Amino acid sequence: MNEQTQMDKAGADKADAARRKFVGAVAAAGAVGGVAALAPGLHLIQVSQATPTPRAAGEAASNKVRWGMLIDTSKCDSGCTDCVKACATENGINETVKDARQASQWIRKIDIKEPKTDHTHSLPMMCQHCAEPPCVDVCPTGASMKRADGIVLVDRHTCIGCRYCMMACPYKARSFVHEALTEQNPEVPRGIGCVESCNFCVTRVDKGMEPACVETCTKAGHNAMLFGDLNDPNSEISRRIAQQATTQVRADLKLNLGVRYQGI
Amino acid sequence: MLYAVRLALITLATAIALPASLSYAAGEGRTPKPVIKIENADTKCVAPPEEMRRNHMEMLKHQRDETLREGIRGEPVSLNRCINCHASKQTGSVLGSNENFCQTCHAYVAVKLDCWDCHQPKANYKARVTNGAAPASHDKAASTMGAMK
Amino acid sequence: MMNIIQDSRKEERLFYVLLALGGLVTALGGAAALYMEHAGHVVTGMTNQVVWGVPHVFAIFLIIAASGVLNVASIGSVFGKKLYKPRAPLSGLLCLTMLASGLAIIMLDLGRADRLIVAMTHFNPTSVFGWNVILYPGMFGIVGVYLWTLMEKKMNPWSKPVGFAAFLWRLALTTGTGSIFGFLVARQAYHSAVLAPMFIIMSFAWGLAVFMIVQKTMYAWNGVSVPDLVRSRMKNLLGTFIAAVLYFVIVYHLTNLYFAKQTAFEQFILINGGIFPLLFWGGYLFIGTLLPLFLIYHPAIAAIKGSVFVAAALVIVGAFCQLYVFIIGGQAFPLEIFPGMTVSSTFYDGQIEHYVPSLPEMLLGIGGIGLAFVMTVIGVRVLHFMPQDDLAKLQAGGHVLD
């Protein structure tokens, strides 16, 4: 009986080992096949860290590229303001204001509640970098401009501070500087009497980096924000937009936005 | 009587104007002459001083459009590079006193420096890190729009 | 023949007193503008939500009334009504001075008022503000030429075609001013084509009211009363214009409610927005529309001396109330970025802004009125703008009922 049990046990062990080996082999094959199927020729890490390449010195921005952002609001936590803090640090938005309504906010978190169901979610809102920006249409001096690669920004050399663009923006993306500033970041000039807004951290983008908000969100592990080239069909952002449903805020205005959201 | 008054007035005017004009002609007016202190004297500017004095405004104006509107980076003319080289070693800035590089000439010729309303005049400046730009006084309770609906 | 003398001693003394008073008001406005420019807009009540405040209310009133005051001249030159022809020079002068003051307020309120040359040398053709850079100076030019055709005898035959050109230019200019707001597609208060004709009709009403007040005052200071016929024709015209403005205001609100379904915004403006319903119903509707209509059309009241003057003044009060509700109410109500949702953020999304005008803003606006006043007083003193009516001649010629 013992011998039988021993033999059975040995047989069972052998069967287990064989099964384990088989499962292991299948798993390995599956993993390799899965990686191969997921991103032919690319590693997973490379996919998630795809960043813009720096432009050569002396080379102008071109419309072959269109910068855009994708925000997955399901990954966005209501209490989290990492993107807002990163933007403020990067762009030198550090002045103390007496009246908080006069404070500049290039990016802000909006908490949205559906009144009938009380479902809430949160998302960051910044300049949507429209392809047909109303702010560019109404600026009398052409200071509000769209660069060839789709980034909408204010040329503060020409801005006269009339605030018409602030009236025209459907997203309340623009801020007016109400007071003299002295602590600007040398890379991000900003000053009294001019209007300003999110510019996708244009200085960083030109150096081949991502906007500060996206980088901080990714580094902190939230992964709610993705930045990339909308004109490149192989970029992560283009593929995600092609595969999954995304929304443009106030799509009825038909402004063809550079920023899209998921989950609203 | 009138003749005497006129004579007195002319004498007075001459007494005031003549020394001033003479000293101006001799190059010593009331306005202090610029103190041009080149901090990094062993390096070269993008162009010789005579050319820079005449054309630096045109160079900057042309370059700012290329950089901002067209996105061309890495050109030899760069305001930040000017500041980092020319800033005074004492104050760390190109503004602040009439001995600082930009201010010294511009105060003399009375041309307002518009750049520094937006551009940072201190060299190699690291902007103060904030703990977030979200103003603290906002009340996060239900918005009035909700109350109205 | 009725001849009005403008060079008496009493008038000369009065001129200097008026100049001093107007100059003081203008100087205060100038000081306020300097303060705002030096310290920045932090000293104003304007914020990142209400970006255009009280100075814009004053400026837009002046610009619209400037366009409308030229109507008096147009009725004479373009539509051939002889009774209005002697009033054309004063109408032209008021147009110039009010337009200049309105523009002065706007330009002094700019965040970078020192960059006016930039504004004039950089032109964006898609911007209504950009068109205004052409329309406003063009208006100065055309009205200047028009005044020349009116006041120099050998140029008089040209007054009709130039008057016509001024009339068309004025329509373009006022349509442009209305379109500043009408083209703002994202704002509930503004994105409406009805704003362009509404601004034109408002200009007719407000311009005529201003003209009637200035005319009556000038006559009084010269010891003459306004001829009965002039008074009754103008008062009836004012009544028509007030009614037309009311029509457009009703159409505007109905459009917002029924076509655009902006119920929340209309509720805010008309019912529970605090100061805004008060100014709309009490200021614009009651004081600015119903009361003047009553004063103008009630047969017994209209005959009382001064009732028409009061009616015109009330129209102007109503105009300011209407503009305050339109410009500031339209911004105080939060921008609807997520229609149908309740929102909140640190940038005051979803929150109604409680705008409080600051003293520098009020002084700048009132200073603009002071500037128009000073320029008109000087203009009237230097040139003979007093309407010279020759009633006997008109009556004999049978032209009065044109």
Structure tokens that stand for C382 in this block: 């230097």
Say if residue A201's pLDDT is above 90.
Answer: yes
Domain membership flag for residue B23: no
Contact A170 C335 (CB under 8 A): yes
Q: H-helix or E-strand containing A15? A: helix A2-38
pLDDT in tens, A232-250: 999 999 999 999 999 999 9
CA gap A119, A99 in Å, rounded = 32
Predicted confidence band of residue B38 (pLDDT cuts 50, 70, 90): confident
For residues B105 and B34, the answer to whether their CB atoms sit within 8 Å is yes
pLDDT over 70, % of chain C: 94
Which of A97, A138, A171 faces C129 most closely, judged by CB atoms?
A: A138
Please give the residue that has the higher pLDDT: either A222 or C14: A222
Residue C220 — φ and ψ, nearest 5°? -60, -40
Three-point CA angle C299, C300, C303, nearest 5°: 85
Contact C133 A178 (CB under 8 A): no
Predicted confidence band of residue C1 (pLDDT cuts 50, 70, 90): very low
pLDDT score of A23: 55
For residues C226 and C196, the answer to whether their CB atoms sit within 8 Å is no
Domain membership flag for residue B78: yes
Domain membership flag for residue B140: no
Contact B72 A97 (CB under 8 A): no
Predicted confidence band of residue C17 (pLDDT cuts 50, 70, 90): very high
Number of helices followed by number of strands (H, E) in chain B: 5, 0
How long is chain C? 402
CA gap C374, C368 in Å, rounded = 10
CA gap A31, A4 in Å, rounded = 39
Contact C341 A109 (CB under 8 A): no
CATH class, range A63-262: alpha beta
Chain A contact for B148 (CB, 8 A cutoff): no
Please give the residue that has the higher pLDDT: either A44 or A134: A134
Give all chains having 3 or more CB-to-CB distances under 8 Å with chain A: B, C
Chain C contact for A119 (CB, 8 A cutoff): no
Structure tokens that stand for B131 in this block: 């703990």
| pLDDT-wise least confident of A145-154, B18-27, C4-13, C243-252 | C4-13
Pairing mode, if any, of strands C342-345 and A259-262?
unpaired
Find the domain containing B35 and state its range. 30-118
Q: In terms of Cα–Cα distance, which of A105, A83, A73 is closest to A171?
A: A105
**CA A35 to each of CA A30, A40, A221, A227, A236: distance values in angstroms, whole numbers, following the listed order:** 8, 7, 22, 23, 16
Q: H-helix or E-strand containing B146? A: helix B144-148
Domain membership flag for residue B149: no
Pairing mode, if any, of strands A107-113 and C342-345?
antiparallel
pLDDT over 70, % of chain A: 80
Show the 3-state SS of chain C.
CCCCCCCCHHHHHHHHHHHHHHHHHHHHHHHHHHHHHHHCHHHCCCCCCCCCCHHHHHHHHHHHHHHHHCHHHHHHHCCCCHHHHHHHHHHHHHHHHHHHHHHHHHHHCCCCHHHHHHHHHCCCCCCHHHHHHHHHHHHHHHHHHHHHHHHCHHHHHHHHHHHHHHHHHHHHHHHHHHHHHHCCCCCCCCCCCCHHHHHHHHHHHHHHHHHHHHHHHHHHHCCCCCCHHHHHHHHHHHHHHHHHHHHHHHHHHHHHHHHCCCHHHHHHHHHHCCHHHHHHHHHHHHHHHHHHHHHHHCHHHHCCCCHHHHHHHHHHHHHHHHHHHHHHHHHHCCCCCCCCCEEEECCCCCCCCCCCCCHHHHHHHHHHHHHHHHHHHHHHHHCCCCCCCCHHHHHHHCCCCC
Complex ipTM, two decimals? 0.91
**CA A46 to each of CA A42, A183, B49: distance values in angstroms, whole numbers, following the listed order:** 7, 37, 49
Contact C344 B134 (CB under 8 A): no
CA gap C112, A170 in Å, rounded = 24
pLDDT score of A193: 95
Predicted confidence band of residue A37 (pLDDT cuts 50, 70, 90): very low
Q: In terms of Cα–Cα distance, which of A146, A172, A156 is closest to A258?
A: A146
CA atoms within 13 A on the CB side of C125: 0
- Distance between alpha carbon B74 and the CA centroid of its chain, in Å? 24
Which of C41, C51, C337 faces A249 most closely, judged by CB atoms?
A: C337
Say if residue C167's pLDDT is above 80.
Answer: yes
Structure tokens that stand for B48 in this block: 């010789």
Minimum distance, in Å, between the CA of residue B1 and any CA atom of chain C:
35
Residue A224 — φ and ψ, nearest 5°? -90, -20
pLDDT score of B83: 92
Instruction: Kindly list the domain boundaries of chain A, sorted by start residue.
Output: 63-262
pLDDT in tens, A96-127: 889 999 999 999 999 999 999 999 999 999 99
Contact C343 B144 (CB under 8 A): no
Q: Which residues contact B104 (CB under 8 A, 6 or more apart)?
A: B34, B35, B36, B98
Query: DSSP letters along A212-246, please?
Result: HHHHHHHHTT---EEEEETT-TTSHHHHHHHHS--
Measured between beta carbons, which residues in chain A are less than 8 angstroms from residue B124?
A: 186
Packing angle of the helix pair C9-39, C88-108 (nearest 10 deg): 20
Chain B contact for A185 (CB, 8 A cutoff): yes
CA gap C266, A108 in Å, rounded = 28
Say if residue C402's pLDDT is above 90.
Answer: no
At A197 the three-state DSSP class reads coil
Contact A161 C111 (CB under 8 A): yes
Cβ atoms within 10 Å, residue B53: 12
Give all chains having 3 or more CB-to-CB distances under 8 Å with chain B: A, C
CA gap C212, C315 in Å, rounded = 11
**CA A238 to each of CA A214, A243, A248: distance values in angstroms, whole numbers, following the listed order:** 16, 9, 15
CA gap A125, B95 in Å, rounded = 37
Minimum distance, in Å, between the CA of residue C116 and any CA atom of chain A:
7
pLDDT score of C185: 86
Q: H-helix or E-strand containing A112? A: strand A107-113
Pairing mode, if any, of strands A195-196 and A175-176?
antiparallel
In sequence order, the β-bridge partners of residue B93 are B122
Number of helices followed by number of strands (H, E) in chain A: 8, 9
Chain A contact for C294 (CB, 8 A cutoff): no
CA gap C123, C358 in Å, rounded = 32
Say if residue A41's pLDDT is above 50.
Answer: no
CA gap A170, A127 in Å, rounded = 10
Domain membership flag for residue B61: yes
Q: Which residues contact C154 (CB under 8 A, 6 or more apart)?
A: none
Contact A143 C122 (CB under 8 A): yes
Structure tokens that stand for B20 in this block: 């001033």
DSSP state of A122: E
Report the residue of chain A nearest B132, measured CA to CA. A85
Chain B contact for A108 (CB, 8 A cutoff): yes
pTM of the model: 0.86
Q: In terms of Cα–Cα distance, which of C125, C134, C163 is closest to C147?
A: C163
In sequence order, the β-bridge partners of residue A152 are A146
Minimum distance, in Å, between the CA of residue A249 and any CA atom of chain C:
7
Provide the residue type at C103 as one letter. Answer: L
The whole-number average pLDDT for the span C353-365 is 96
In sequence order, the β-bridge partners of residue A125 are A108
Q: In terms of Cα–Cα distance, which of A62, A163, A162, A172 is closest to A128?
A: A172
Residue C389 — φ and ψ, nearest 5°? -90, 135
Report the residue of chain B nearest A177, measured CA to CA. B118
Chain A contact for B139 (CB, 8 A cutoff): no
Measured between beta carbons, which residues in chain B are less than 8 angstroms from residue C342?
A: 142-143, 145-146, 149
CA gap C376, C368 in Å, rounded = 12
Residue with tokens 């000369």: C12
Q: Which of C342, C348, C351, C352 to mutate to test the interface with B (most CBs of B within 10 A)?
A: C342
Predicted confidence band of residue A14 (pLDDT cuts 50, 70, 90): low
For residues C76 and C150, the answer to whether their CB atoms sit within 8 Å is no
Which of A88, A180, A189 faces B119 most closely, judged by CB atoms?
A: A189
Contact B118 A156 (CB under 8 A): yes
Give all chains having 3 or more CB-to-CB distances under 8 Å with chain C: A, B
Chain A contact for B70 (CB, 8 A cutoff): yes
Measured between beta carbons, which residues in chain A are less than 8 angstroms from residue B127?
A: 89, 92, 94, 183-186, 188
State in Å, rounded, how far the first CA of chain C is from the last one.
20
Domain membership flag for residue B15: no
Q: In terms of Cα–Cα distance, which of C145, C159, C89 is closest to C385?
A: C89
pLDDT score of C385: 81
Predicted confidence band of residue B143 (pLDDT cuts 50, 70, 90): very low
Report the residue of chain C nearest A165, measured CA to CA. C184
pLDDT in tens, C101-152: 999 999 999 999 999 999 889 999 999 999 998 999 999 999 999 999 998 8
Residue C15 — φ and ψ, nearest 5°? -55, -50
Contact B145 C343 (CB under 8 A): yes
Report the residue of chain C nearest A174, measured CA to CA. C48
Report the residue of chain B nearest A61, measured CA to CA. B71
Interface size, chain A vs chain C, as Cβ–Cβ contacts under 8 Å: 173
Contact A97 C128 (CB under 8 A): no
Measured between beta carbons, which residues in chain C are less than 8 angstroms from residue B140?
A: 344
Cβ atoms within 10 Å, residue A250: 20
pLDDT in tens, C318-334: 999 999 999 999 999 99
In sequence order, the β-bridge partners of residue A123 are A110
Contact B142 C352 (CB under 8 A): no
Considering chain B, what is the average pLDDT of its residues? 81
Contact A157 B68 (CB under 8 A): yes
Measured between beta carbons, which residues in chain B are less than 8 angstroms from residue A92?
A: 127-128
The sign one gets for the Cα dihedral C106, C108, C110, C114 is positive
Please tell me the total count of domains within chain B: 1
- Distance between alpha carbon C389 and the CA centroid of its chain, in Å? 26
pLDDT in tens, A152-200: 999 999 999 999 999 999 999 999 999 999 999 999 999 999 999 999 9
Chain A contact for B112 (CB, 8 A cutoff): no
